[in-house]
Amino acid sequence: MTWHSIIKGKACEILTQFYNIGKHHSDTENQSEAQMLIRGAVFLRDGVDAEGSTNNMAHPALAALITYFFYAPLSLSITFPEVFSCKVLKVALCLCATLDEYTQTGTHQDRPFEYIGYSRVFTNFLDMQHQLDLVPKHASKMKALHITWVTSGG
């Protein structure tokens, strides 16, 4: 068992808890929901703040997977520290890859979580994070999210 398969398994579980997707929905509903969530990385956002700015990288599903994966007492990041130089983005990528498994037919179709299939998506996430880091307001919101994730995990 690899860290890829472990995090993908948890991502599958989290998807059905936080999004309108999974076995309790029709294939058409799953397909539509997955496509909507992936388009523009909606699955990573959690509304807007009081000033109308998007809460990027703040969706509760992402927070749940990050907390489980990085900050729980038996987290995989402790076992594989060399793998996680871009921690949050790898978790976001896993959520995207798991959602992507619903986009073709609406039925969950497990696909390998491998570099060849998702390197371009990961590069886009790196670019998105860089853009967020350039805006002081979004950079400070991201720092606050990291603090929340760390303090809620263990």
Q: Which of 39-43, 98-102, 107-111, 137-141 has the lowest mean pLDDT?
A: 107-111
By the 8 A CB rule, do 92 and 59 touch? no
Residue 18 has pLDDT above 80, yes or no: yes
Give the start-end residues of each E strand in the chain: none
| Nearest of 50, 137, 46 to residue 92 by alpha carbon | 46
Confidence of residue 21 (pLDDT cuts 50, 70, 90): very high
Adjacent-strand bridge partners of 48: 54
Domain of residue 119: give its range: 3-153
Adjacent-strand bridge partners of 103: none
State the pLDDT at residue 85.
47
For the chain, what's the residue count?
154
Q: How many domains does the chain have?
A: 1
Q: Could you read off the pLDDT of 47-96 as tens digits, one per residue? A: 999 999 999 888 999 888 888 877 777 776 666 666 554 566 567 665 66
Output the average pLDDT for the chain: 78
